Structure 1
Amino acid sequence: MLKWIRNYYVDETIKDPGRTRARIIVGKYVPGIYVVTLSDNPGNILEILSTAVLTQRGARAICPPIVGIAKGKDGAVQMVQDIIEQVYRETGNLKIREYLENR
């Protein structure tokens, strides 16, 4: 089962975010949509995954918490950049995991 953080980020170019999230939850491939997740790898902070990866039951079972959905890989990269800038601007540090979990 996929885990989502409360108040996850949504790219404003996604027309129907509720429907998009519902399709991701049930394991449907949503063309052109990427999810931004917290990373399980201690060397990384955030990861970008295509929804194609989440159609696999095994990948969905081990997927870290989702912090955002974006249209296109460029949109996902921009979302990661915006998240990092927001965390630094509001807290003065880069404790992104703590910020997102307590947001």
Structure 2
Amino acid sequence: MLKWIRNYYVGEDVKNPGRARARIIVGKFVPGVYVVTLSDNPGNVLEILSTAELMQRTVRMICPPVVGIANGREGAIRMVQEIVEEVFRETGDLKIREYLENR
């Protein structure tokens, strides 16, 4: 089961984000939509996954918490950049995981 942070980010160009989230939760493919997640890898902070990857039950089961959904890979990359900038602007630090978990 996918975990979502409270107040997750939604890309500006995601059409009908509620429907997209519902489809992602049940394991359906949402064309062109990517999710940004916290990373389980200590060397990374955030990861970008396609909804095609989330169709696999095992991936959904071990997927770290979702912090945002975006339209297209480029949109997901922009979202990661915006998250990092927001965290630095608000805290003066780059403790992204702590910021997102307590947001």
Q: TM-score range by the shorter chain?
A: over 0.9
Is residue 89 of structure 2 the alignment partner of residue 99 of structure 1? no
* Corresponding residue number in structure 2 for 1:52: 52
Misfit runs of 4+, over 6 Å: none
Q: Please report how far the alpha carbon of residue 12 of structure 1 lies from its aligned counterpart in structure 2 after TM superposition.
A: 1.1
- Rounded to whole Å, the distance in 2 between the matches of 1:14 and 1:78 is 13
- Rounded to whole Å, the distance in 1 between the matches of 2:72 and 2:14 is 10
Is residue 6 of structure 2 the alignment partner of residue 2 of structure 1? no
TM-score relative to the length of structure 2: 0.99
| Secondary structure in structure 1 of the residue aligned to 2:44 | coil
Residue type matched to 1:20 in 2?
A
- Rounded to whole Å, the distance in 1 between the matches of 2:3 and 2:69 is 13
Residue type matched to 1:13 in 2?
D
* Corresponding residue number in structure 2 for 1:81: 81
Q: Which ranges in structure 1 are unaligned for 5 or more consecutive residues?
A: none
How many residues in Structure 1 have an aligned counterpart in Structure 2? 103
TM-score relative to the length of structure 1: 0.99
| Secondary structure in structure 1 of the residue aligned to 2:98 | helix
- Rounded to whole Å, the distance in 1 between the matches of 2:23 and 2:50 is 13
Percent of aligned pairs with the same amino acid = 77
- Rounded to whole Å, the distance in 1 between the matches of 2:36 and 2:102 is 17
- C-alpha RMSD of matched pairs (Å): 0.3
Residue type matched to 1:79 in 2?
M
